[in-house]
Amino acid sequence: MEIIEYKPTTEELAYTFGGNAPRRTIKPGTAVRLWTQDAFNNTIQTVNDLSSEKVDMRFVNPQTGPFFIEGAEPGDALAIHIVDMKPARTYGISSTIPFFGGLTSTDRTAMLQEPLPDTTWVYEVNTERQTVGFEARYGDMKIEFPIECMFGTIGVAPAGNEVRSALVPERFGGNMDSPEVRKGSTIYLGVNVEGAMFSIGDGHYRQGEGEACGTAVEGAMDAIIIIDLIKGAAPAWPRIEDDNYYMTVGSSRPMEDSWRIGQVELVRWFQELYGLHQLDSYQLLSQITKAPIANVVDSNFSVVIKAAKDLVPHASAFKGMHESLRERAKGLSL
């Protein structure tokens, strides 16, 4: 397997899905060892760095990519397997950006109240214990939490010649902020433009479901991924597969629509996997799906729908792509 190394320069970082020239051209089946900048674009390093003073919202969630995938055409599915990932810094950052987050009014859920205090938290990475350290800013509490690395953004160029901010989760993937986009997962994205124009970023050292305050434990990331292609197999919305679950992600507003999108997509996937009638698929999944919220803070809200593989007969999704990628991932490491 070909392995490419890619660490973008500051100038190479991208801030949109679509609208950027490819940084690299890659053959399907290639492994990429890459680095991603943190969501704040490295503007915040200490608790004295306030987001309202340092962060330019036009340059957040910097993307590593886009990669032009040879042979990818509209209607194909891109399969991205996350082989491994780990913090590329000794600390992670979180902050309550004014009028951004889930428990504050925003530019969309517009109100007249004053913003919450702009506050920054720095989480020290303990490599040995594999933890990040929470330190209260208005009190004395200190707790260490396990590192659970994930990517907040993973996506391709949108359809219809659109270009979308890296803050947006959508049909093309993007800023879904789901903890399921982690080591061991395979993400399937429908290709909309020639070459797919894949990019990735917004690494989180850990994140709660919902990403309540608007930011996770944000940090630069080292990762190795394998990018592959399945001709003519584009899902309508992002799908994820790992060893234990079939998953879909819906992103819209209000949040019940995100759920509806994901649930319909999984109903359809199960119809494909098992030759089920729509109503039987609906019924069966009603009794077994998990439905964790991913984010309630981005331009669209994201909900994951997942069905455990051990509850249903074995099936081969996307021609066994996930199993194949797991196999190929062996021996690769950071």
Radius of gyration (Cα) for the chain, nearest Å? 19
Tokens coding 78: 């891109």
The strand order across the sheet containing 186-190 reads 3-6, 30-36, 221-230, 77-87, 186-190, 239-241, 245-252, 301-308
- Cα gap 17→197, rounded to integer Å: 8
- Shortest distance in whole angstroms from residue 112 CB to a copy of itself: 5
What is the pattern of x (binds a copy of itself, CB under 8 A) and - over residues 49-68? Answer: --------xx----------
| Cis bond before residue 254 (omega within 30° of 0) | yes
List binders of a copy of itself among 185-244 (CB under 8 A).
206-217, 236
Q: Which stretch binds a copy of itself (CB under 8 A): 63-71, 195-203, 225-233, 274-282?
A: 274-282
List binders of a copy of itself among 1-30 (CB under 8 A).
15-16, 18-19
- Shortest distance in whole angstroms from residue 80 CB to a copy of itself: 24
List binders of a copy of itself among 91-150 (CB under 8 A).
94, 96, 102-105, 107-117, 119, 121, 134, 136-139, 141, 143, 145-146
- Taking the least distance from each CB to a copy of itself, the nearer of 30 and 192 is 192
Q: Which stretch binds a copy of itself (CB under 8 A): 39-47, 163-171, 221-229, 322-330?
A: 163-171
List binders of a copy of itself among 315-334 (CB under 8 A).
none
- Taking the least distance from each CB to a copy of itself, the nearer of 202 and 228 is 202
- Cα gap 176→303, rounded to integer Å: 8
- Cα gap 102→296, rounded to integer Å: 6
- Taking the least distance from each CB to a copy of itself, the nearer of 187 and 213 is 213
- Taking the least distance from each CB to a copy of itself, the nearer of 198 and 259 is 259
Closest listed residue to residue 216, CA positions, set 208, 227, 228, 225:
208
Indicate whether 181 belongs to the interface with a copy of itself (CB under 8 A): no
Spatial CB neighbours of 13, under 8 Å, sequence gap ≥ 6: 37, 41, 62, 63, 64
In the block, tokens 């889930």 appear at: 102
- Shortest distance in whole angstroms from residue 330 CB to a copy of itself: 31
Closest listed residue to residue 215, CA positions, set 120, 82, 114:
120
List binders of a copy of itself among 280-299 (CB under 8 A).
280, 282-293, 296
- Taking the least distance from each CB to a copy of itself, the nearer of 27 and 290 is 290
- Taking the least distance from each CB to a copy of itself, the nearer of 30 and 120 is 120
- Cα gap 62→298, rounded to integer Å: 15
